[in-house]
Amino acid sequence: MIDILVDYIILFASEIWSLIIQTAPYLLLGMLFSGLIYIFVDNKLILKHIGSKNISSIFKSTILGIPIPLCSCGVIPVAATLRDSGASKGSTVSFLVSTPQTGIDSIFLTYGMLGPIFALFRPLAAFISGLFSGLVVNNFDDESHHHSNNSNQEVKNDKPIIERFKLGLKYGFITLPADIVTPLITGLAISAVIAIFVPPNFIAQYFSFNTYFMFILMLVVSIPIYVCATASIPIAVALLGKGVSAGAVFVFLMVGPATNASSIAVIKSILGKKTMYLYLFLIAFTAIIFGIILDYFLVIELPLSMTHIHIHDEMNFISIFLTIVFILILLNAYLHKVGKNTQPDKKKVSKTKHYKEKLSIMVSGITCSHCKESIENGLDSFNEIKSTTINQQTGQVIILGENLKKNLIENKIKNLGFTIN
């Protein structure tokens, strides 16, 4: 019994190692480009181009959303800010649909693990689905709320180029990995479990009697779960290897990153029930259409990672070096994430005695650094607030200042798309 368990552990570790070797170079390249995007594409630029109520805004929101590495939860605060600044429901929905489906990091990884057709198809599907969804919402859902232009986003471009470059590297190789390390490892683990325990062609033999049934099954599985665009790729590779059609896998790749239970609830709060239902229907509809196109009109060649030829035999110094660097970045990201959430800021602690009041608010929906940054930027509009500390793991927001108005602060956080516990 112990020998069998040890064998499975070794096999599991071998599958994880194989997946990491495949993902390392593409994710490292994606992290670098994500850092560059972070330098040159700030929130004020986004608001300038998509914070209006016209067709051009829908087009721009879709285009700008594709390369930005935001998950389905991280995109919510940005979308709430867009909406609050005067963006139409259509342009807000376009951004919500196109952004979480892809990111520059996931595009590179998709190319490496799923091949060029998937790598081209993902951003194309994100663009068409985002554009289509925005146009439909603008035409079938009336505007029922007035939104004022009160954005408080800071511009990174005021800093010298060296400082901006440092900020970009920090974001690309520390902040972004800290956001995706947990779901990425989870995705790799799920992929390894599927590869080990699901027999070859098992799904194709017992569940592929109807292509549309597989599409519906993928929709049912994908809508409520939380999986980012990057973490969904190893799972997609495993599903393809077990006989799931390329179209059904693409449904998972579209819908999984674009939706989850918590983000759906927040969308209902920000945009209303009717828009929420339209949002879900349009994502599901466009995903199935693209799935049908993949299955019936394109021939997908399985990438090397799925042909049962392990890369262990082809490793060279460069691949080993990149893999080690990637593992160290993930380890540092995890330690950075845990340390930042458990260790108080010494500067802020030292200043606590200078402030008369302290508020502690428990907030749901803080899933990444973008969520934290959104709350911090939103609360900067209150002159009474002198310090804000946010624990991402627990959702605790500690505010220091004088003459603090709890109701106004909580309403501000709610308007950003979060829930007060």
- The pLDDT value recorded for residue 211 is 73
- Residue 325 corresponds to which amino acid? V
**Residue 305 CA neighbour count, 13 Å, CB half:** 27
| CA-based torsion, 334, 154, 266, 372: positive or negative | positive
**Beta-carbon count within 10 A of 217 CB:** 17
Tens-digit pLDDT profile for the chain (421 aa)? 788 888 888 988 888 888 788 778 877 887 887 777 777 766 566 666 776 667 888 898 888 888 877 776 667 666 766 676 567 788 888 988 898 888 888 888 888 888 888 889 999 999 999 999 998 888 876 554 433 344 444 445 566 778 888 888 888 888 878 877 877 788 778 878 877 887 766 666 666 556 788 898 888 888 877 677 888 888 888 888 777 888 999 999 999 888 876 677 767 767 778 888 888 999 999 999 999 998 888 766 655 545 444 444 445 778 888 889 989 998 988 887 776 655 555 444 445 556 678 889 999 877 777 778 778 888 888 888 888 888 877 888 999 888 888 899 998 888 877 888 8
- In the chain the domains, ranked by start, together with CATH numbers, are 2-327 (no CATH), 344-420 (3.30.70.100)
Q: Is the dihedral of CA 224, 229, 231, 233 positive or negative?
A: positive
Tell me, what's the pLDDT at 131?
A: 92
Burial 289-326, CB ≥16 within 10 A → b, else e: bbbbebbeeeebeebebbeeeeeeeeeeeeeeebbeeb
Contact status, residue 281 vs residue 233, Cβ threshold 8 Å: no
pLDDT at 155: 47
- Please give the model's pTM, rounded to 2 decimal places: 0.67
**Looking at residue 275, what is its pLDDT?**
84
Which conformational region is residue 13 in: left (phi greater than 0), alpha (psi within -120 to 50 degrees), or beta? Answer: alpha
- SS3 assignment, position 148: coil
